[in-house]
Amino acid sequence: MNPIHALTRWFTTDNNVVQLFGTVVGITTCAVLVRPVGTTGTGLAIGCLLVLESLLLCTRLIPEGRLSPGPQTAVLALWAVGAAALMSLEHSGAAVLFAFTATGHAGYRLAPRKAMTFALLTSALCASVLILPIGSGHRYLAWYVGALSGVSVLLGISNRANSEALRSARAAADQAELASRAEARAETLAERARIARDVHDVLAHSLAGVNMQLELTDALLDSGDVDGAQRAAQRAQSLVRAGLTEVQRTVRDLREDALPLEETLRAMLDSVPGAGKLTVDGPPRQLPLRAAQALVRCAQESLTNAHKYAPGAPVRMSLRRLPQETAFEVVNAAPSGDSRPLAHTGGGMGLVGMRERLALVGGTVTAGPVLDGDDTGGWRVRVVIPA
């Protein structure tokens, strides 16, 4: 908690220790100063009123809200009447402390309008008993002291406003802490999703190719083609090395502030046997790092899908930098009749991962079959990222 708030809270009416200390000091002061106190006549009346006012003063220790408005008003009214009666009888003038504490307590416990009304009535009552010769107290205490007994209501109202402000501040701090925890949890979940996408984009691609080569190796061994099986095993080893290289490049890209987009796309396309070239249109423009990483992951996923569903088919890429957006396409031709697709490999989360990744940078992705042109029967993936 803020030290200033803690110090302020310590001296507000919310603090039970301060309340108890003030109550004890008030009762002790009045018990010592109020005179005369005796067992008969005026002394007995003063003693009874002193005990009554002390008990009513202790009601300040009752937690707020425990007394409903009706009983609370009745207690304050009895408190004010007892204080005025005691002021009219005793000689020291200390009884005015009971009137001051009554109006101050009313300012804290009652609504401001009701508290001001109570303070005016209390001031009028205390001034009246001192102006009129109701008891001997008017000879020892000036009437205007009684008239000023309602001023302490302003302190009570101020204390109440301060306490409510502190409660609101504490509630706001609690809400802010809950919001901060929720935000931290959301960031953690988002980071986990990003890591999951990276694992899929980097490792799953390489493992899919290795799985294909191992299946091919197994089939060639069953048919007795040992040389072909060795070549397939060598290709699997090459894919493993390429996967390790890709992991290293991914870690490097995540650490850098910029990503050489065109060079990365060309290197990826060159690693695909029989692939075409990257076509780039538009003026040079560097994408933000996260947008460039998302586009590279989409290209990687598209190449993997082309390798799975149409192995050996030509693949081409195009990158267009338009004034309002950057458009990227990966198109593969239809698979040949003697190809062996690997549609059953992988987790089937590639397109979902692309959409999630692009959504984080405000981009979109569409994918579907090619229905016309030279690549009819193939597949097209189109990515659009706003400029």
Largest CA distance in the chain: 129
Task: Return the H-helix or E-strand segment holding 329.
Answer: strand 325-332
Q: How is 127-189 classified by DSSP, letter by letter?
A: HHHHHTTSSGGGGTS-HHHHHGGGGHHHHHHHHHHHHHHHHHHHHHHHHHHHHHHHHHHHHHH
Strand residue runs (E) in 43-83 = none
CB atoms within 10 A of CB 199: 13
Architecture of the domain delimited by 257-387: 2-Layer Sandwich (3.30)
31's tokens: 């018990």
Among residues 70, 124, 308, 121, the alpha carbon closest in space to that of 210 is found at: 308
Q: Whole-angstrom Cα distance, residue 202 to residue 248?
A: 10
pLDDT of residue 285: 84
* Predicted structure pTM score: 0.50
User: b vs e for 175-189, b when ≥16 Cβ sit within 10 Å of the residue's Cβ?
Assistant: eeeeeeeeeeeeeee
Please, where in the chain does CATH 3.30.565.10 lie?
A: 257-387
Computed on alpha carbons and rounded to an integer, the radius of gyration of the chain in Å comes to 43
Q: Whole-angstrom Cα distance, residue 285 to residue 29?
A: 82
| Whether the Cβ atoms of residue 365 and residue 355 lie closer than 8 Å to each other | yes
DSSP 201: I
φ/ψ region of 15 (left if φ > 0, alpha if ψ in -120 to 50, else beta) reads beta
- With 0-12 / 13-18 / 19 or more C-beta atoms within 10 angstroms meaning exposed / middle / buried, residue 221 is middle
pLDDT of residue 255: 55
pLDDT of residue 330: 93
Q: What is the pLDDT along the chain (387 residues), one digit of tens a residue?
A: 445 445 444 444 455 777 888 899 989 999 999 989 988 989 999 999 999 999 999 998 998 888 888 999 999 999 999 999 999 999 999 999 999 999 999 999 999 999 999 999 999 999 999 998 788 887 888 899 999 999 999 999 998 998 889 889 888 888 888 888 888 788 767 766 766 666 666 666 677 778 777 888 888 888 888 888 888 888 888 777 777 776 666 666 555 556 688 888 888 888 777 677 899 998 988 888 888 888 988 888 888 888 778 877 888 999 999 989 999 999 988 887 665 555 444 444 578 878 888 888 899 999 989 888 888 888 999 999 998
pLDDT of residue 196: 65
- With 0-12 / 13-18 / 19 or more C-beta atoms within 10 angstroms meaning exposed / middle / buried, residue 259 is buried
| Whether the Cβ atoms of residue 322 and residue 282 lie closer than 8 Å to each other | yes
Q: Please name the amino acid found at residue 132.
A: L
Q: Whole-angstrom Cα distance, residue 109 to residue 56?
A: 14
Q: Whole-angstrom Cα distance, residue 226 to residue 117?
A: 106
pLDDT of residue 217: 85
Which residues on neighbouring strands pair with residue 326, listed in sequence order? 321, 385
